[in-house]
Amino acid sequence: MEGKLSLKGQIADYARQCAVEPLEIVYWDGSRETYGLPGNGTSHPACTLHFKNKKAAQQTIFRGSLGFGEAYMDGDIEVSGNLQQIIRLSLHPVFDSCQAPIVSKLLPLAGLFYNHNSIDGAHKAIAFHYDRGNDFYREWLDDSMSYSCAYFKNPGNSLEQAQLNKFEHICRKLLLQPGERLIDVGCGWGGMLIYAAKHYQVTGIGYTLSQNQLDYAREWAKKAGVADRVSFRLQDYRKAEGTFDKFVSIGMFEHVGRKYYPAFFTKAVELLKPGGIGLLHTIGKNDGSPTDSWITTYIFPGGELPQLYDICRVAGQHNLRLIDMENLRYHYHLTLEEWIRRFEQRLDRIRTLIGDQPEETERFLRCWRLYLNGSSVNFHHGNLDLYQLTFTRGLTNELPLTREHLYN
């Protein structure tokens, strides 16, 4: 048909419009072309994208991120140089108007018809991601095993220091006092609750759906000398009981799902005493677009990134009063860059932990490399945010008049 671009023509057209640095593409027939913005001072490509076969190119064009991700994981696409440059191509506005990836844009909507985040579904989804073994995560996380956005007081902070900064920042926002009871919903490996017990002399309970995380948190609490003050349970947040002075949830709300927001905030109200303070630390998307289909297929089944508007609306309907909101988007980019550095530095050790099937192991490593780099790009250049939302249960006038307490 006249005017219709060939497959190579479509790829070339996208590359010309979207490349932010010189980009070389090696096509399945062996031909090579370099694209990129003029006047960048160099003719050397920062990255080479090699489509080993025509099918890999078709997957990328017609199935968007899901097709590209699968082809990359399978080794049908090779990237040498800066992988993040390739990922940035998908953020260009030209893709909003192109019809080809429309199928991949509709795929995330299919997840809305399944009950991924029911109590049974949530257990399976969390096990899929978090029960890969503590040794795997230990290789590239910090000493506290904190798998969430750190807080960099300056760019020179180590990852370890930045994660401790995060715990301290949250403790100050919660106005923790000795003897108070703190509940941590989605406590991970226990870092936040153990830090609060050691430094603020609180007692508390942490809830997780991962057996590996539970075992690690209990052992760490013993070593830290706070096992008499904090405990951890393998239980869904919807079954949590008790009354607490303070409530925190870090990096867990992304797994709740829009359908279950009312249940989450109903439970928060049940657990918090009147006037109590809570903090929600969550990734979000300002535009409300569906969560990437490759992520929900291979990384976080049932994951659904919330929109700030939805969080505030449903929380308000449950008489939770928002008193502070901070967006730590760039902090998460810095966190991910450090995770990527450690992941690549310890790749040989990680490879031995994954298994003895070389093809499966390499596919797993490519999957996680793409996940970490894609996340970093989207926090740096894309539409991902990291919200820390502080709220109270109902009205309270017993709060500082300024934010001085956060920084002094």
Q: How far apart are CA 256 and CA 116, in angstroms?
A: 9
Whether residues 289 and 214 share a domain: the answer is: yes
Which runs of E-coded beta strand occur in 60-152?
77-81
Q: Domain containing 58: what range?
A: 7-100
225: left (phi over 0), alpha (psi -120 to 50) or beta: left
Indicate if the alpha-carbon torsion angle 374, 375, 380, 383 is positive or negative: positive
Write the single-letter amino acid at 22: P
113 is a domain residue: no
With respect to residue 197, please indicate whether it lies within any of the assigned structural domains: yes
Clarify whether residues 25 and 80 are in a common domain.
yes
Query: Based on the domain organization, do 154 and 299 belong to the same domain?
Result: yes
- Which of 38, 67, 100 delimits the end of a domain? 100
CATH number of the domain encompassing residue 394: 3.40.50.150
CB 35 within 8 A of CB 9: no
**Among 70, 56, 79, which residue's Cα sits nearest to residue 297?**
70
Angle between helix axes 119-130 and 211-224 (nearest 10 degrees) is 70
Q: 49: closest CA among 89, 94, 91?
A: 89
Residue 83 CA to chain centroid, in angstroms?
A: 19
Tokens (6 digits) for 308: 């700030």
In this structure, what DSSP letter does residue 237 have? G
Do the beta carbons of residue 290 and residue 108 sit within 8 Å? yes
pTM across the whole model: 0.90
Both tokens assigned to 154 = 């300056």
Residues belonging to the chain: 408
Residues 50 and 172 in one domain: no
Per-residue confidence (pLDDT) for residue 101, from 0 to 100: 42
In a domain, 114, yes or no: no
Q: Are residues 134 and 89 in the same domain?
A: no
Residues 162, 253, single domain; the answer is yes
pLDDT number for residue 40 = 47
Same domain, 224 and 296: yes
Residue after which a domain boundary falls, among 40, 67, 100: 100
- Per 3-state DSSP, the chain is made up of helix, strand and coil in percentages (nearest 5) of 50, 20, 35
Alpha-carbon distance of 45 to 243, in angstroms, equals 59
Helix H, strand E, coil C: the string for 21-61 is CCEEEECCCCCEEEECCCCCCCCCCCEEEEECCHHHHHHHH
Cα 125–Cα 130–Cα 132 angle in degrees, nearest 5:
115
Q: Is residue 108 part of a domain?
A: no
Structure tokens at 151: 């807080």
Instruction: Please indicate, yes or no, whether residues 186 and 214 belong to a single structural domain of this protein.
Output: yes
Encode pLDDT of 112-132 as tens digits. 444 455 555 554 555 555 557
Q: State whether 76 and 173 are in the same domain.
A: no
Contact between 47 and 81 (Cβ < 8 Å): yes
Token digits for 42? 């160099």
Residues 141 and 256 reside in one and the same domain: yes
Nearest to 237 by CA among 222, 226, 247: 247
CB 103 within 8 Å of CB 62: yes
Q: How many whole angstroms from its chain centre is CA 157?
A: 21
Q: Is residue 338 part of a domain?
A: yes
Domain-embedded: residue 105: no
In a domain, 109, yes or no: no
Domain C-terminal end among 100, 135, 157: 100
Instruction: Please state, as a whole number, how many other Cβ atoms lie within 10 Å of the Cβ of residue 403.
Output: 12
pLDDT of residue 379: 96
Q: Are residues 322 and 198 in the same domain?
A: yes
Please give the pLDDT value at position 130: 56
CATH code of residue 37: 3.30.1050.10
Domain co-membership, 402 together with 258: yes
| Mean pLDDT, the chain cut into blocks of 10 residues (408 residues total) | 74 85 93 76 78 94 90 96 90 55 39 48 53 88 96 96 98 98 97 98 97 96 98 96 98 95 98 98 89 89 92 97 97 98 96 88 95 96 96 95 93
Question: Could you give the CA distance from residue 329 to residue 334 in angstroms, rounded to a whole number?
Answer: 9
Q: Is residue 111 one of the residues assigned to a domain?
A: no
3: tokens are 């005017």
Say how many domains are in the chain.
2
